[in-house]
Amino acid sequence: FVDLSRNCRYGDDVRTEILGSQGAIFVDLLPTGRTRLATKDGVIEVSGSQVIDATAAGIESQLDAFVQAIKVGGTGAVPSGYDSARSTNIGHAVISAAKSGEKVFV
């Protein structure tokens, strides 16, 4: 199930939650950027995932990857248009499966 929401009452509070049968991953931007992993044993904060400003850190990483691609040529692990289209198809399949209760193959 995919659930997207935004809450901007107290800043740009954007979170990502990936829920699975074995646990979950939580990515927070506020009050500081961090990633947490939840399993049957509890919730832990992923070491090295903490940053003061997750948005700035993300933009910095994107710029570093862009500069590196220019220096060495090529795109490395940069997603392509095909990858973007596939992720959109996966999202549509999730919605179809949620509505029908059936498996949807992509």
The CB-side HSE value for 29 (13 A sphere, CA atoms) comes to 16
Domain ranges within the chain, ordered by starting residue: 1-52
Report pLDDT digits (tens) over 10-37.
666 677 888 888 999 998 887 788 999 9
pTM (2 decimals)?
0.51
Q: What percent of the chain has pLDDT above 70?
A: 83
What percent of the residues of the chain are helix, what percent strand, and what percent coil, each to the nearest 5?
35, 25, 40
Q: What percent of the chain has pLDDT above 90?
A: 24
Q: CA angle, corner 31, sides to 27 and 34, nearest 5? A: 30
Residue bearing tokens 């990858």: 83
